[in-house]
Structure 1
Amino acid sequence: MFSKRAQLIAHQVPTDAKGAVLVLPGGSMKSKGRYFSIVELGLRPLLALLAEQEGLAVYLLRYRVRGWNGDDADSLADTRWALDEIVRLHGRVPVALVGNSLGGRAAYHAAGHPSVVSVTGIAPALPSSDPVTQLADRQCLILHGDKDHSEASAAMSLAYARRARAITTLARFEIPGAGHFLLRGSRECYMATTEFVTATLARTPLPPLIAQAQSGDLCSPLPLDV
């Protein structure tokens, strides 16, 4: 029998952290089965980039089970537990949430936690029924492959972004030619995420590309170094 306890995996823990990043991997819409760490593989380059940033505590969350599971919202419950755990470990430092796929849904749902200052969704699963009011006063970023037609489609995150824009500042980019697993453009996606996270945690100006996108087209293409 596998353990149904969430785990907060530390990738960098400075002695005196000025901020923290919580990275939330993907999962399944419905499953009470064991969490599979294979979902972390594609996030390793992002975790490495974040861990290079001075003064930031960087954590990855391993869920109790791999599914969201309807009203149980297991991934969200684990995310809220992890945020409280970061407060216990580091006090009231600002926290940036970064979620991939189903983790993006958990990140956007959990944005109302008092420690959260920014939320990034990478190919996030954002159904039309999901709320946006919790995003008030948070800075938001969505990065999505324009060829993503999965259950976490680019069309879904675009519709969500349009609703969220009425509540908060939000930038959204589409990665040209990329599907759900970002086999194309992941490096540029992770670099943009890292720049956004570090700026929002330090409360410094955003990179010009992201700052301009906050009031621009929600389908802006993310420039790729090809």
Structure 2
Amino acid sequence: MRLRTCPGPAEAGVLLLHGGRADGLDAPSLLNLPGLRMRPFGAAVLRASNGHAVALGEVRYRHRGWNGDRADTVRDARAAHAELTGTHGPLPVVAVGHSMGARAALRIGGDPGLSGVVALAPWCPPGEPVAHLAGRRVVLVHSDRDRITDPAGSLHFALRARQAGAEVCRVVIPGSDHAMLRRAADWHGLAGRLVAGLLGLADLPADIAAALAIGRHGNHGLALPTPPPTG
């Protein structure tokens, strides 16, 4: 893991979990483009955190793939969380993942010390576990034009997690893509505000806070208005 520390004691931590493949035992390349794609999200979190000291952990996987029941990405995510707290002590931590990394973030979302999950274009195959997310705050963000991970899968996951007791909402960014390149500024800005809000370093966007609160009592409010283009 590449750990970007902050001056002085950290007040909170963020795990950035990049995408990958369903299968692949080879190591990520040195360039690791999926990892580079997460760097702007880390910068957006720092901008949104109102000067609070946040430690960013950029997780680098041992293997490029999820690899079935091995779930290698989950092992790496948990090891990175342990390293982050081992360096900075107990901290509120939000896991931010993209695609395969979002699946891993959702898998560890119920672990002790995790304050919430932001899942970007998440890979949510049928039957993914949700019971461990009871009582946790989870925001899923997906494009309606994603051709790699199914937007219907994240909606179904969100509904199941809501029924299991999680505080969940889902935001659709229309006209974008799986790589989050179209409307990139909207992805970055929204993710930064979400993470800062889940960590208690800033206010959550009002509509998301309302949807999460409504979600404690049923399925109403799961879908939110889409964020406007930034220009």
TM-score, structure 1 normalization: 0.90
Q: CA RMSD in A?
A: 1.6
Give the partner amino acid of 2:101.
G
Q: For residue 228 of structure 2, what is the aligned residue in structure 1?
A: 223
The one of 26, 32, 35 equivalent to 1:33 is 26
Q: Secondary structure at the match of 1:34?
A: coil
Single out whichever of 47-56 and 187-196 deviates more from structure 2.
Answer: 47-56
Structure 2 residue 12 is matched with structure 1 residue 19: yes
Structure 2 residue 150 is matched with structure 1 residue 153: yes
| Structure 1 position 204, deviation (Å) | 5.7
Gaps of 5+ in 2: 215-220
Gaps of 5+ in 1: 1-7
1: CA distance between counterparts of 2:13 and 2:175?
32
TM-score, structure 2 normalization: 0.88
Contact 2:92 2:115 in 1 (8 A): yes
Q: For residue 171 of structure 1, what is the aligned residue in structure 2?
A: 169
Q: For residue 41 of structure 2, what is the aligned residue in structure 1?
A: 46
Single out whichever of 8-17 and 108-117 deviates more from structure 2.
Answer: 8-17
Q: For residue 135 of structure 1, what is the aligned residue in structure 2?
A: 133
1: CA distance between counterparts of 2:185 and 2:133?
27
Matches within 5 A, 1:72-221: 72-150=70-148, 152-166=149-163, 167-202=165-200, 205-214=203-212, 215=214, 216-218=221-223, 220-221=225-226
Give the partner amino acid of 2:130.
V
* Deviation >4 Å, runs of 4+: none
Give the partner amino acid of 2:34.
V
Contact 2:140 2:170 in 1 (8 A): yes
Deviations 1:13-58 (A, max 9, x none): 3320011000000000100011131112322221222234321111
Give the count of matched residue pairs. 218
| Structure 1 residues 126 and 14, CA gap change in structure 2 (3 angstroms) | farther
Deviations 1:107-126 (A, max 9, x none): 00011210101100010101
